[in-house]
Structure 1
């Protein structure tokens, strides 16, 4: 009987070890699923924004989209997209902002949208810095907007640069917390290498912060929004949009929230 118990325990340990190894192997595919496509999602509306190449400090050239501000204050929004899309799926947001006179920079990541390289946490931060350098050379009024995975890039940059404001759409506390909802039996904080720990960083952001997301978000539940909001030390605002999920936040009221936030920033400048 004792031998059987030892054998069963050994099998459990082996299976657990295999699960951990499989998760490590799958981590990149789970966090950066679009890297495998290596192509640009066709979107004719994207052609209305100028195609601009930017270079990162580690020598990767990224193709992004840009429209200069027509406002007197030159306010420009840098958009960082989520992990399951490329910049073409944020074009509708860009056009809404451009229609109000705001400048827009649609940032792209390495390994996404036909760009070279392989995405990683450090790599995406480098990509974000290159995007911000491009915009900062043209205006000092910069708002960072991060959606889902892009919130990790936006928060990191907001701790490094004197931006005008930070807007986060469907942001998470950290990747490990998101992964834990899918793999509750694994010690995710010890397994995940690309952490994007927004919760640990957002308290260092000095600019005004807007956090918004959907009440029915199952990818990043609203508890993430509340925890991030509680950690903000600067001027802050949290709005949970009733009935919105992870992918329709902008269409169900996020657009009005963001535009109102930007108008308020302009009035207080």
Structure 2
């Protein structure tokens, strides 16, 4: 019996080790599941916006889409999407903003939607700097909108760049906090290469901040929204959208 128990223990330890190694080596595909994303062709979006190219400071030419504001004084909203989609899936927001007279710049990340490169935290920050530089050279007022993973990109940019407002939809305190709850059996905090630590950065944002998300968001619980709101300084607002989940806070708000 003792031998059987030891064999079982060894097998469990080996299985845990294999799972741990797989989680470490595959974390890039978990955070950035680009191979699973199917672009949504939207002729209305194509007609309403112009295809542009921005160049990152590490030499990548990335596609994006841009529409200047109807009036020069109106803000232009730069949108940073979530990890499990590409920029075509933000079309519903873009078209509403254009109808309201705002400018839009629909950012796209390296490795997404046919863009060159491999996505990673520092790389997405470089992508954000490139689209911000493009917008800053053409419009007077810039608002950042970051959804889910995009909240990490937008918050980092807002903590270092001159903007007029920061809007975060379904944001996390950090991506590590989300992963640690999902993969509770593993030392995620020690393994994670990308962190997107919004909580550590949001106090450095000087612009007004709006945080909103659904009360039924199970991927990123509303406690994250409240914690970020508490940490933000200056003008700030928190909106909890009743009965909305992770995907429909904008449409239900």
> Is the counterpart of residue 80 in structure 1 residue 80 in structure 2?
yes
Deviation of 1:182 (Å): 1.8
| Aligned counterparts of 1:71 and 1:238: Cα–Cα separation in 2 | 28
> Is the counterpart of residue 112 in structure 1 residue 115 in structure 2?
no
What aligned pairs does 1:8-157 form with structure 2 within 5 A after superposition? 8-34=8-34, 36=35, 40-48=39-47, 49-157=49-157
| Aligned counterparts of 1:169 and 1:38: Cα–Cα separation in 2 | 20
Name the counterpart of 1:229.
229
Assess if the C-alpha contact under 8 Å between 1:167 and 1:210 holds in 2: yes
Runs of 5+ in structure 1 lacking a partner?
Answer: 254-269
Deviation of 1:37 (Å): 5.5
Assess if the C-alpha contact under 8 Å between 2:72 and 2:140 holds in 1: no
Deviation of 1:10 (Å): 3.5
Assess if the C-alpha contact under 8 Å between 2:45 and 2:95 holds in 1: no
Assess if the C-alpha contact under 8 Å between 1:214 and 1:242 holds in 2: yes
If the length of structure 1 is used for normalisation, what is the TM-score?
A: 0.89
Name the counterpart of 2:196.
196
Query: Equivalent residue of 2:66, what SS?
Result: strand
Higher mean C-alpha displacement, 188-197 vs 5-14:
5-14
Runs of 5+ in structure 2 lacking a partner?
Answer: none
Assess if the C-alpha contact under 8 Å between 1:212 and 1:239 holds in 2: yes
Assess if the C-alpha contact under 8 Å between 2:72 and 2:139 holds in 1: no
| Aligned counterparts of 2:111 and 2:173: Cα–Cα separation in 1 | 24
After superposition, give the CA deviation of every residue in 1:201-241 in whole Å (9 maximum; x if it has no partner): 11111111000000111111111111111111221111110
Query: Equivalent residue of 1:156, what SS?
Result: helix
Deviation of 1:164 (Å): 0.5
Deviation of 1:82 (Å): 0.6
Deviation of 1:7 (Å): 4.7
Deviation of 1:116 (Å): 1.1
What aligned pairs does 1:241-256 form with structure 2 within 5 A after superposition? 241-253=241-253
| Aligned counterparts of 1:39 and 1:55: Cα–Cα separation in 2 | 24
Deviation of 1:6 (Å): 5.2
After superposition, give the CA deviation of every residue in 1:161-191 in whole Å (9 maximum; x if it has no partner): 1211100000011111111232111121111
Aligned-pair RMSD on alpha carbons?
A: 1.7
Assess if the C-alpha contact under 8 Å between 1:81 and 1:87 holds in 2: yes
Name the counterpart of 1:213.
213
> Is the counterpart of residue 182 in structure 1 residue 182 in structure 2?
yes
| Aligned counterparts of 2:110 and 2:62: Cα–Cα separation in 1 | 7
If the length of structure 2 is used for normalisation, what is the TM-score?
A: 0.94
Query: Equivalent residue of 1:97, what SS?
Result: helix
Count of aligned positions? 252
